[in-house]
Amino acid sequence: MTPGISRALDLPHYPVGQIQWFPGWVQRPEDAFHLRPEALLAQDRWIIGGIGPWPAIERRFDAANTI
């Protein structure tokens, strides 16, 4: 559903799986995982779809204008 919303609103879509994992399902180190979303959240417009670790969810909620 999120990719459809992203297309309809012309927003970049970032699945949490692509943020949290390297190709081949190799988990990104925790410190690197937290840096990447910060760069995405600094953009004016975005959709991040998925769950991820609770601190990352809280940060996205704080940065979002719509949930």
Burial of 2: CB neighbours in 10 Å, binned 0-12, 13-18, 19+: middle
Tens-digit pLDDT profile for residues 38-56? 888 899 999 988 888 888 8
16-29 pLDDT, tens digit each: 888 888 889 898 88
Residue 35 has pLDDT above 70, yes or no: no
> What's the token pair of residue 58?
């809280």
Label the pairing between strands 13-15 and 47-49: parallel
Among 60, 56, 54, 18, CA closest to 34: 56
Q: What is the mean pLDDT of residues 29-33?
A: 73
